[in-house]
Chain A
Amino acid sequence: MVGFIEVFELRPQVAETAGLTDWILGVCAKHSLPDKIAFALQLCLDETVANIIEHNTGDGRGAAEIVVSVSQEDAQVMMTVTDDGVEFNPTTFAPWLARPSLDEAPVGGLGIHLMRQFAANLKYERKEKRNCLHFVFI
C-alpha cells in the first residue's frame, strides 16, 4: 500500500533548486520521515540535480525539465528523479577511492559515491527518452 506520493518539477537551473529544497524539507516534515532518511533523501536529491545541472551543456542536448517524486510504501521511502537530457548513467562510474593525502585528493566526483552510500538501493534506467534514477531508503 502506498502511503503517499509527492511530485515536484523544476528546470535544471541553480536558482530553481531553492524551491526544490523548500519542497523536500516540506515533504519530510509533512510525512514525519525519520531524520536519517530525510537527510539521505536531501543528499541524494542535491547530488542528482547538481549532476544534471553540471551536464547541462547548453548545446540543446541537456535537460529542459527535472521531475522528482517521493513516495512511501511500508517502511521504505522511494525517490525517483527523471530528466529529459542526453543519456547519462551515473551508476556506471567506477567506485570512489578515498585518497590518503590532501595533495592527491580530487576536488570533485564525490556525488555518486555519496548516493551509493546513503541510499539503500540505487538503480538507473533510460525510459521514454528520460534518465530515471530510482532510490530506495530504509
Chain B
Amino acid sequence: MEMQVEDLTNGVTVVALRGRMDIIGAGAIDLKFSTMAGSKRSIVVDLSAVEFLASLGIRVLVMGAKSVRSKGGKLVLLLPHDDVNAVLTTAGIDEIIPIVFDRADAIAAVQN
C-alpha cells in the first residue's frame, strides 16, 4: 500500500492511495494517514488506484474524515473504482463522506 501526499497551492491536499486496503495495507498506512489528516483541513483522497477495500481500510478513512471534521475541515473521496465504490456504499460511507468522480469537483468541494 502506497500513499503520496501532494499539497496544492490553493491549500488543498491530494492524498493518492495505491494498492490493497486490506489487513496489511490498512495497517501500513494507518499512522501516516491519521497523522496527515490531523494536520490538514482540505483533503481529497484519490482512491482511483485502490484495487481492494475492506472494513479495516474503511476504518482508516472514517477516522481520518472525523479528524479533519473536528477541525472544521473537509475530506472527500475521489474516483473509487466500481468494486471499491460498492463496498463504500454498502457500508453507508457515501452518506457521511462525499464520494466524487471528478478531480476538479473534489478540489472545489473541500475548498468551500
Contacts and interface: CB of A to CB of B under 8 A. Distances in A.
B49 interface: no
B40 interface: no
B92 to A, nearest CB: 3
A105 B52 contact: no
B55 A47 contact: yes
Contacts of B59: 107-108, 110
Interface residues of A, number: 31
Contacts of B69: 102-103
Contact of B90 (A35, A42, A107, A117): A117
A50 B91 contact: no
Contact of B91 (A35, A42, A100, A110): A110
Interface string B47-61: 000001011101100
A105 B54 contact: no
A14 B95 contact: no
A110 B56 CA distance: 9
Given A110-B55, A113-B91, A114-B87, A102 B23 contact: no
A59 B54 CA distance: 27
B85 to A, nearest CB: 11
B77 to A, nearest CB: 12
A114 B90 contact: yes
B24 A14 contact: yes
Contacts of B96: 99-102, 105
A78 to B, nearest CB: 20
Given A18-B24, A103-B66, 7 more contacts: A39-B52, A49-B23, A50-B54, A50-B55, A102-B69, A111-B55, A114-B54
A65 interface: no
